[in-house]
């Protein structure tokens, strides 16, 4: 499982995915279907996300209505941005369609 913060036109969102990379073409296509065609993504450690989100993380992972390859854990941009230090984020991945 990968966790990533995606900075989009409407603000940052926190995504969990089973894809090996945050710029995997299949993940990029799924995001484009949701209207996200341009983003800057940073991987964040899954253990850190579990620690910060606790029960919400477990709930999202247990929600059988969502597909396994893409789950939005947090779409409150202010909360996502201030919940992680910049030093906790991996290298930037840029995508523009």
Query: Is-above-0.95 flag for pTM?
Result: no
- Give the percent of the chain with pLDDT over 90: 75
Q: What is the mean predicted confidence (pLDDT) over 32-44?
A: 96
Joined together, the tokens standing for residue 75 give: 């779409």
Q: Are strands 71-74 and 38-44 parallel, antiparallel or unpaired?
A: unpaired
Domain ranges, ordered by start, for the chain:
2-96
């Amino acid at each position: 499982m990968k966790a990533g913060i995606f900075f989009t036109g409407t603000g940052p969102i926190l995504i969990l995915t089973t894809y090996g990379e945050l710029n995997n073409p299949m993940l990029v296509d799924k995001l484009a279907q949701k209207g996200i065609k341009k983003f800057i993504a940073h991987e964040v450690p899954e253990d850190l996300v579990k620690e910060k989100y606790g029960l919400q993380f477990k709930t999202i992972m247990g929600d059988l209505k969502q597909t396994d390859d893409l789950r939005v854990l947090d779409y409150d941009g202010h909360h996502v941005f201030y919940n992680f230090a910049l030093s906790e984020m991996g290298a930037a991945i840029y995508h523009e369609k």
